[in-house]
Amino acid sequence: MFMLDWYAHNSRLKTVHPAEKVLFAFLCLVLALYFSRGTISLAIIVLQGAIILFYLRIPPRYYVRLLLMPLAFLLPGCLAVALEIPAATQAAVMLTLSLGPLTLGISSGGISLAVNLLLRSLAALSSLYFLALTTPFTQLGWLLRKAMLPPSAVELAALTYRFIFILADTAQSIHTAQVTRLGYSCWRNTFKSLGSLAAGLLAKSFYRSQLMYMGLISRCYDGEFRSLEMYYRFSPGNWLLMGGVTAGLLAISRIPTFLALF
Amino acid sequence: MSANIIETKGIVFTYADGTRALTDLSLTVPAGKRIAVLGANGSGKTTLFLCLNGILRPQQGQILCGGEPLKYDKKSLRRLRSRLGIVFQDPEIQLFAASVQQEVAFGPLNLGLRETEVRQRVQQALAFTGIEKLKEKATHMLSYGQKKQVAIASILAMEPEILIGDEPTAWLDQEHARKVMDLFYAISDKGTTVIISTHDADLAYSWAEEVVLLGRGKLLGKGPPEELFNHEEMLAAAGLRQPLLLEIYLLLKEKGYVLADTGTPPRNLGALSRLIREGSECRSSS
């Protein structure tokens, strides 16, 4: 999980204007969702995969793991889409499955719908992963502020981001302290230890937030988090590239359906 | 400017749970000096600092800043905190921003400075602490020692007249500890009054110009390190021992390896070895 953050901070595209990265990710996302066609989705999966693996040089194993994570939700969902209760007169059913009074069937239409859904989701996911792997939160926060979101909402998000790491650190150290004293040696101990970890985490976080507040007010904090303006430059090359990608995807969408696989 | 930049008069502080942290503490801090507040764990060092910064308010007594009694309204506190900066013991609690640059800019921005000025100060503070290359890094990716340096830079950028370091070398490896103490030395060289707290007699002895000895919230003694550390019974009352260097020096003096009338005891290894050399030369010539 935290590796994602690390890659974003060390990405080759880190200095690129955040708006360009967000735009590119959303461009692909919107095109995949709008056209809802397998070819477009496939093209986006391949394009984003190529950028992520070959340009950003994210280790393939890690990227595959990132894609596999949501598959746990996605596959059952697609399966449910593929299955249908066939009408008695329906001819296109390829396979039927009887579960007591219930008869489930799979039709070619259902399959193509499920595959389409799967590809569309993967295309959307890989677009979001592109964003997550290239844009650290500092840049997103900056962009959100520029987008005139309420400053307090953006600050809240920024603090949450910082606190995730503090919380994870604290949980890790409590866990280590418990492991060294055989806190997880059997089921009974595991449950007990997990309980006290959660309780300890709350108490420690509270204590820590108080200390942090002290640190803030000692630096003249008055209820508003001010931050230094950051400057990014738009690059014409990137816009050209995005235009090219859009044109390419639109061209793919013109391929007649009977020529395309899906 | 008065000679004492900050002063406490008989302050008493008791925590809500009844723990008395400071008892009738009167203290003067001369401007421009390097001061070490020395005391065992629980002697009230951190409480004292939090009182000096106006974060805790003593139940009795008075704090004077630049000769004026400290008031606790928003404006006065703001003024106080812009003049007096604290580097907390645990940098983890001090750093909240996502990037080093934003962290260091936080204080100066709160002072209401213009953007160009803030940028300049951030640059200077990072250069001074030797961490310019960390500028764009995320704070949670730094090592502990680096976090400490960022915490110091974030206070330095506010250009306080007084810089307080609460146990600045705690949990640092030797190299980072030395770096931090050198840094505090350099800050003091710029004319800033630097106060550190420590339980390390060796550190206080070699670094400070003046040592304040605290024990259970009381002031036990105060003075230049050469003098203060001669009072063994006073140190024992504070739960501390003489600095190793001083002990060795006294032992060598007793055994006749260094001359008896060398004036002030040595504050560092170089000075001690010079005394030993002089002593041996003196013996071989006689």
Q: Which amino acid is at A227?
A: S
State the virtual CA torsion across A223, A224, A228, A234 in degrees, nearest 10: 150
More confident residue, A255 or A185: A185
Predicted confidence at residue A66, as pLDDT, reads 92
Mean pLDDT along residues B56-64? 94
Half-sphere exposure of A34 (CA within 13 A, CB side): 10
Q: Give A243→chain B minimum CA distance, Å.
A: 30
Are residue A126 and residue A220 in the same domain, yes or no?
Answer: no
Nearest to B107 among A6, A136, A220 (CB): A220
Residues of B in Cβ contact (< 8 Å) with A216: 96
Q: Is the pLDDT of residue B60 over 90?
A: yes
More confident residue, B48 or A105: B48
Are residue A13 and residue A139 in the same domain, yes or no?
Answer: yes
Are residue A112 and residue A155 in the same domain, yes or no?
Answer: no
The string of DSSP letters for B73-123 reads: SHHHHHHHHHHEEEE-S-HHHH--SSBHHHHHHHHHHHTT--HHHHHHHHH
Kindly state the percentage of chain B with pLDDT values over 90. Answer: 73
Are residue B106 and residue B216 in the same domain, yes or no?
Answer: yes
Q: Out of A107-111, A174-178, B207-211, B234-238, pick the least confident.
A: A107-111
The Cα B139–Cα A69 span in angstroms is: 28
The string of DSSP letters for chain A reads: -HHHHHHHHT-TTTTS-HHHHHHHHHHHHHHHHHH--HHHHHHHHHHHHHIIIIIS---HHHHHHHHHHHHHHHHHHHHHHHEE---TT---EEEEEEETTEEEEEEHHHHHHHHHHHHHHHHHHHHHHHHHHH--HHHHHHHHHHTT--HHHHHHHHHHHHHHHHHHHHHHHHHHHHHTTTTTSSHHHHHHHHHHHHHHHHHHHHHHHHHHHHHHHTTT--S------------HHHHHHHHHHHHHHHHHHHS-TTTS--
Residue at token pair 């981001």: A161
Domain count, chain A: 2
Predicted confidence at residue A258, as pLDDT, reads 54
Q: Is the pLDDT of residue A236 over 70?
A: yes
Cα–chain-centroid distance for residue B253? 31
Cα–chain-centroid distance for residue B43? 15
Q: Give B83→chain A minimum CA distance, Å.
A: 10
Predicted confidence at residue B169, as pLDDT, reads 92
Measured CA to CA in angstroms, residue B125 lies from A208, B129, B158, B261 at distances of 26, 6, 9, 44
Are residue B162 and residue B185 in the same domain, yes or no?
Answer: yes
Residue at token pair 């309980």: A195
Q: Is the pLDDT of residue A10 over 90?
A: no
B96 contacts A227? CB cut-off 8 A:
no
The Cα A119–Cα A126 span in angstroms is: 10
Are residue A107 and residue A10 in the same domain, yes or no?
Answer: yes
- CA-nearest residue of chain A to B119? A228
Are residue B98 and residue B227 in the same domain, yes or no?
Answer: yes
Predicted confidence at residue A257, as pLDDT, reads 62
Any domain includes A91 = no
Are residue B148 and residue B255 in the same domain, yes or no?
Answer: no
Q: Are B200 and B119 in contact (CB under 8 A)?
A: no
Are residue B127 and residue B263 in the same domain, yes or no?
Answer: no
Are residue B95 and residue B181 in the same domain, yes or no?
Answer: yes
Tokens coding B261: 């009338």
Q: Which residues of A touch B (CB under 8 A)?
A: 5-6, 9, 136-138, 141, 158-159, 161-162, 165-166, 169, 208, 211-212, 214-222, 225-229
Are residue B205 and residue B254 in the same domain, yes or no?
Answer: no
Residue at token pair 């690129």: A16
Tell me if ipTM is over 0.90: no
Q: Which pairing describes strands A83-84 and A102-107: parallel, antiparallel, or unpaired?
A: antiparallel
Mean pLDDT along residues B253-271? 82
Residues of A in Cβ contact (< 8 Å) with B154: 219
Predicted confidence at residue B161, as pLDDT, reads 94
Taking one residue from A and the other from B, the number of pairs with CB-CB distance under 8 angstroms is 89
Q: Is the pLDDT of residue A69 over 80?
A: yes
Q: Is the pLDDT of residue B63 over 80?
A: yes
- CA-nearest residue of chain B to A215? B94
Are residue A16 and residue A53 in the same domain, yes or no?
Answer: yes
Mean pLDDT along residues A146-167? 87
Measured CA to CA in angstroms, residue B256 lies from A24, B131, B232, B259, B284 at distances of 80, 47, 21, 7, 13
Domain that holds residue B249: 243-286
Domain count, chain B: 2
pLDDT for B4-13, tens place per residue? 899 999 999 9
Mean pLDDT along residues B43-68? 93
Predicted confidence at residue B1, as pLDDT, reads 45
Predicted confidence at residue B286, as pLDDT, reads 67
Any domain includes A127 = yes
The Cα B172–Cα B87 span in angstroms is: 14
Are residue B173 and residue B61 in the same domain, yes or no?
Answer: yes
Mean pLDDT along residues B230-255? 90
Residue B250 is classified by DSSP as H
Are residue B160 and residue B273 in the same domain, yes or no?
Answer: no
Mean pLDDT along residues A9-22? 91
Predicted confidence at residue A88, as pLDDT, reads 60
Q: Is the pLDDT of residue B189 over 90?
A: yes
Predicted confidence at residue A4, as pLDDT, reads 86
Are residue A65 and residue A18 in the same domain, yes or no?
Answer: yes
pLDDT for A80-106, tens place per residue? 888 877 766 565 667 777 777 777 778
Are residue B46 and residue B79 in the same domain, yes or no?
Answer: yes
Domain that holds residue A181: 150-229
Q: Out of A43-57, A159-173, B160-174, pick the least confident.
A: A159-173
Q: Out of A219-223, A253-257, B109-113, B267-271, pick the least confident.
A: A253-257
Are residue A109 and residue A212 in the same domain, yes or no?
Answer: no
Q: Are B40 and B15 in contact (CB under 8 A)?
A: no
Any domain includes A93 = no
Residues of A in Cβ contact (< 8 Å) with B102: 138, 227-228
Predicted confidence at residue A259, as pLDDT, reads 53
More confident residue, A223 or B195: B195
Kindly state the percentage of chain B with pLDDT values over 70. Answer: 99
Are residue B177 and residue B79 in the same domain, yes or no?
Answer: yes
| Exposed / middle / buried, residue A151 (Cβ in 10 Å: 0-12, 13-18, 19+) | middle
Binned at pLDDT 50, 70 and 90, residue A1 comes out as low
Nearest to B81 among A218, A225, A227 (CB): A218
Are residue B219 and residue B252 in the same domain, yes or no?
Answer: no
Mean pLDDT along residues A176-205? 90
CATH number, position B181: 3.40.50.300
